[in-house]
Amino acid sequence: MCGIFGIYNHPEASNLVYLGLYALQHRGQESAGIVSSDNRQLHHYRQMGLVSEVFTKDILKRLPGKSAIGHVRYSTAGSSELKNAQPFVVDYYKGSLAIAHNGNLTNAFLIKGELESKGSIFQSNMDTEVIVHLIARSKEKSTLERTVHALKQLEGAYSLVIMTENELIVARDPFGFRPLVLGQLKDAPVVASETCAFDLIGAKFVREIEPGEILLINGEGIKSFKPFPHKQPHQCVFEFIYFARPDSFIFKRNVYEVRKSFGAQLAREAPVKVDMVVPIPDSGFPATLGFSAESKIPLELGMIRNHYIGRTFIEPEQRIRHFGVKIKLNPVKELLKDKKIVTVDDSIVRATTSRKINKMFRNAGAKEVHVRISSPPITHPCFFGIDTPKRSELIASYHKVKEIQKFINASSLHYLSLEGLKKCVREDAESFCYACFTGDYPTPFQMDLD
């Protein structure tokens, strides 16, 4: 998964991109990069690491100009190396070009092969590099036309921002898999993956970029284009379930409220008689609140998070049981002793963490530990940008709910039903992608699902 941000026509462009990326850090912690334009040339800096580690005042000073774009990355396509950090910057016959891309192109591999056979060389193994090659090879006249020409050849998910020396081009694929929002900071248009990036810099949220929409931002203002045939949108429901920040507004809804409604629906679908509802810090919190409110079972902070998790860690040689989880979480024994509890988490992927957490609850004295999951079982991998593992590692692919319950040692286990999920998403239910729960992918493609 990745986060992107762009701004046009602001004297502090690269500083503001820095802040925007900071607010989008949850979308990718592997690498960060910013490219700025001073109208004559592009300046860029990328490194592995968090935004606050990668950039310093001095580095930002070396990124002058009034427009800039940025990217935070968690690898979904391309391995974790500096060469795969974005924005990607190149020179071609029309000048320079930088691109920041969130999403996954499903036919990138095929096109890369074709391009190589025509003599193209590739320096990264990102699908994003394919977009740039297609733009460079296009014979269309303007950068906008070349970009459209390139995107028409591509399938899959992309929310992206392209910068040349003097314009920004912003695009969201026709299915609208990933979010992309437009804002305004005084005279400067801004785009970002989520609205939380606008809040930090004090920009006003204007509207979402629509699926299949392309914006051209330059000295003459913002122009909107819809060059693709219309398609039924397939917005990623997992952004609601887990990925986006709860304070963001995307896909026409506030994430926190949607997430809370999942918990409430879950309480209706799978009630349980227990002493307390315990949230798993921090991702499961909004759904837990919804569950507690609907079920009238009191919420208790039975599991405490350590605020100071450092990067590297030294484990003693005599292995401490469940160490990886223990370093982050600690149960409140006095509270849990002899109690029946239910925990609400957003999803189960491999189930190993869930197993460890339940063990900790039981060791702390809990008599019953019921588990509720605020999304349906994940049975299929995502090819559009969410970093789920391959099918064979998804526990729900090959195991029934009862088996998973046994594996994680839960007193009971219930998932939110697909119908329940759709109900919460409401009138827009049909404009979302549920492929990770159903296997009904919106585009056909050749990939090893195993």
Question: Which tokens belong to 10?
Answer: 């602001």
Candidate list 18, 383, 415, 441; residue touching a copy of itself; CB under 8 A = 18
Segment near a copy of itself (CB under 8 A); pick from 20-28, 211-219, 388-396, 417-425: 20-28
Q: Which of residues 165-204 bind a copy of itself (CB under 8 A)?
A: 196, 199-202
Candidate list 257, 269, 387, 403; residue touching a copy of itself; CB under 8 A = 257
Give 16's Cβ-side CA count (13 Å radius): 29
Q: How far is CA 357 from the centre of its chain?
A: 24
Q: Which of 2, 196, 236, 382 is catalytic?
A: 2
Q: Are 77 and 107 within 8 A, CB to CB? A: no
Q: Which of residues 276-315 bind a copy of itself (CB under 8 A)?
A: 282, 285-286, 289, 293, 298-301, 304, 306-314
- Nearest partner of 347 among 259, 275, 411, judged by Cα: 259
Q: Are 183 and 196 within 8 A, CB to CB? A: no
Candidate list 107, 184, 254, 412; residue touching a copy of itself; CB under 8 A = 254
Rounded to a whole number of angstroms, the minimum distance from the CB of residue 184 to a copy of itself is: 15
Candidate list 9, 153, 166, 330; residue touching a copy of itself; CB under 8 A = 330
Q: Which of residues 216-245 bind a copy of itself (CB under 8 A)?
A: 245
Q: Are 154 and 131 within 8 A, CB to CB? A: yes
Whether 424 is catalytic is no
Burial 57-77 (b: 16+ CB within 10 A, else e): eeebeebbbbbbbbbbbbbbb
Question: Which tokens belong to 20?
Answer: 């925007």
Candidate list 3, 8, 20, 22; residue touching a copy of itself; CB under 8 A = 22
256/432 with CB nearer a copy of itself: 256
Q: Which of residues 121-160 bind a copy of itself (CB under 8 A)?
A: 121-123, 125, 132-133, 136-138
Rounded to a whole number of angstroms, the minimum distance from the CB of residue 141 to a copy of itself is: 14
Three-state SS annotation for 236-274 = EHHHHHHHCCCCCEECCEEHHHHHHHHHHHHHHHCCCCC
Residue 375 CA to residue 403 CA, distance in Å, equals 18
Segment near a copy of itself (CB under 8 A); pick from 8-16, 344-352, 365-373, 438-446: 8-16
Can you say whether the dihedral through the CA atoms of 377, 380, 383, 389 is positive or negative?
Answer: positive
Strand partners, 31: 48, 73
Interface size with a copy of itself, residues (CB under 8 A): 83
Candidate list 52, 142, 392, 438; residue touching a copy of itself; CB under 8 A = 52
Just list the catalytic residues.
2
